Amino acid sequence: MKKHITDFLKRGLMAMGGGPVVVAIVYKILNVCNVVQSISADEFFYAVILSSVLAFVAAGISVVYNIEKLPMFWATLIHFGVLYADYIIIYLVNGWIDIAIVPGFTLIFILGYLMIWTIVWLSIRMSMKKMNENLKSL
């Protein structure tokens, strides 16, 4: 268990540097859409800190896939739930989305998660197929 906590912390800390980049991209998009023209120093500070927390949790939670005793279904469910809670809480606290948008956000999140998970699953499946073919030829 200690190894998984250490891995979570390492992954999270490596991803935290992306927080300011996320804030810059979000606020540029909000500016282009004429939603936000400028922000205060306090808003910027909290946005950077909270988006760093978002990146930390999002990267760290992938450690659930390394827990050998955890079935893939439960690891995926935990990963999905933590990511969803992480994103929705940070987005609402930062004011990046309104509570009225949560159902649409949820639908888009589910579709995006399924699409990415399917792509990863297919690529792993293809890699395994190639490895099995290589083993048969030995």
Query: Cα–Cα distance between 33 and 55 in angstroms, integer?
Result: 24
pLDDT tens for residues 85-99?
999 999 998 888 899
Lowest mean pLDDT among 5-14, 44-53, 67-76: 5-14
Higher pLDDT, 15 or 69: 69
Question: In terms of domains, do 37 and 10 share one?
Answer: yes
Higher pLDDT, 18 or 98: 98
DSSP structure string for 68-102: TTS-HHHHHHHHHHHHHHHHHHHHHHHTSS-GGGH
Question: What is the mean predicted confidence (pLDDT) over 70-97?
Answer: 92
Question: In terms of domains, do 38 and 9 share one?
Answer: yes
Segments forming the whole domain that contains residue 68: 2-97
Question: In terms of domains, do 44 and 65 share one?
Answer: yes
Instruction: At 56, give phi and psi (nearest 5°).
Output: -60, -50
Higher pLDDT, 7 or 84: 84
Question: In terms of domains, do 106 and 91 share one?
Answer: no
